[in-house]
Amino acid sequence: MTSSRLPVTVLDGGFATQLSVHVGKHVDGDPLWSARFNATNPNAVYKTHLDFLEAGAQCIMTNTYQASIEGYGEYLDLSEAASIQLIKSTVKLAHMARTKHLAESDIREIPLVVASIGPYGAHLHDGSEYTGEYADYVSANTIQKWHRSRIDACLEAGVDVLGIETIPCKMEADAMLEMMTEDYPHVKFWISFQCKDSAHLARGENFAETVSYIWNKAKLLGNDNLIALGVNCVHPQFVTPLFRAVNEKRSPVERIPLIVYPNSGEVYSVETGWQGKEDCVPLEQYVPQWIDLGARFIGGCCRTYARDIKRIKQAVTALQTGTL
């Protein structure tokens, strides 16, 4: 397949999932989620980054998905200045892990440090990052203002890319594209969506139409820094139909570069936690079809460990070298 010869970058996996290996417990249910450990156990955060790098990840995402001035103020009693400093120090943990990995390995390519920029709904602690219902009552300007302080802190600490992720609604993606174009004209970024099924965003908008809209608007705005659009924190079975709707009818030169880092396939509920591990299809089995549909970045999200990233990397390498 011609598309398999195009470069594919392997991302890391579920940060909170792999972090649990080092902190001895799962972190689901904490209002700060894994972001609490930036303050309480930064060494575990550092080790988690190293796990993914050693598994072959070419990108590591900072542990800032759930980090916010509001969250750190409410749950760690930190001032605004202290919260911003904690976000910056969290980025530095990723840098430290990358430096150590480069010193101890023979890889030539320098892994990217990507700032995890979770959605506005993540700090509300009401599950609305999986519904996008705040699009009905929160203005685009409010969302942009909320995102800006964390983005500024991450950029000041030094990141290669912004990973704007788990976005549940078209409105927030649109607001972020406009802000990135106007305020951060030299910063590369991706936008990945939360989807509720094989056709729609969490909020209900059509995925393929939204991706096309955002991609075309970026071109109209003259923004060449949007490197990919796609999905994360979704069931892997949704991905192929979602991607097929975007790219299947496009010629190779017209295809939109896609990004995917899904969950393991397990399903979460507050009452029972994660269920269905025995029914999961290993993510690496999906890799050929996703690449054939235009995926240029592939990794994992919730319930994916470093060992899963290692297998994804092996599958990608096999396709790139023609051994699969």
The annotated binding site for Zn(2+) is made up of 233, 301-302
Joined together, the tokens standing for residue 304 give 């994916």
Contact 200, 208 (CB under 8 A): no
Query: What's the number of CA atoms in the CB half-sphere (13 Å) around residue 20?
Result: 14
Which helix (H) or strand (E) is 95 found in, with range?
A: helix 80-104
Q: How far apart are CA 187 and CA 154, in angstroms?
A: 12
Q: How far apart are CA 324 and CA 322, in angstroms?
A: 6
DSSP letter at 36 equals G
Binding residues: 233, 301-302
Contact 35, 74 (CB under 8 A): no
Nearest to 92 by CA among 156, 180, 146, 31: 156
Q: How far apart are CA 106 and CA 111, in angstroms?
A: 12
Phi, psi of 273 (to 5 degrees): 75, -150
The crossing angle, in degrees rounded to 10, of helices 207-220 and 236-247 is 50
Query: What's the number of CA atoms in the CB half-sphere (13 Å) around residue 307?
Result: 5
Q: How far apart are CA 183 and CA 197, in angstroms?
A: 33
Q: How far apart are CA 256 and CA 294, in angstroms?
A: 7
Joined together, the tokens standing for residue 315 give 């599958």
Q: How far apart are CA 216 and CA 218, in angstroms?
A: 5
Helix, strand, coil shares of the chain as percentages rounded to 5? Answer: 50, 15, 35
